[in-house]
Amino acid sequence: MTSIYVGNLSYTATEDDLREAFSQYGKVSNVNIVKDRETGRPRGFAFVEMADGKEAATAIQELNLREIDGRSVTVNEARPKQDRPRTGGRRRSW
């Protein structure tokens, strides 16, 4: 399973838009548009999973800097999430 990062994504782009774009290059297993926890609005990036590594590599090469829903997107293989210490939210100094 290859996870693909899609950045600079239009806030109006849907999972169907991404599935349609990536399925031209192979079978899409999952699409996840990342949303803000508080507002529920899209944050401008997503992850697409493809089962076949060769198909994923082709999709990355072909879709990087291409337009999806009116914006030129950045597409590359997702890096593993690194552990970061949790700060418990923002601190305000009064």
Torsion 60-62-68-70 (CA) sign: positive
pLDDT of 93 reads 59
**Could you tell me if 31 and 48 are in contact, meaning their C-beta atoms sit under 8 angstroms apart?**
yes
**pLDDT tens digits, one per residue of 4-53:** 999 999 999 999 999 999 999 999 999 999 999 999 999 999 999 999 99
- Cα separation of 56 and 41, whole Å? 27
What is the distance between the alpha carbons of residues 57 and 62, in angstroms, rounded to a whole number? 9
pTM score of the predicted model:
0.84
48-62: pLDDT as tens digits:
999 999 999 999 999
Neighbour count for residue 37 (Cβ, 10 Å): 7
Rounded to whole angstroms, the Cα distance separating 6 from 22 reads 11
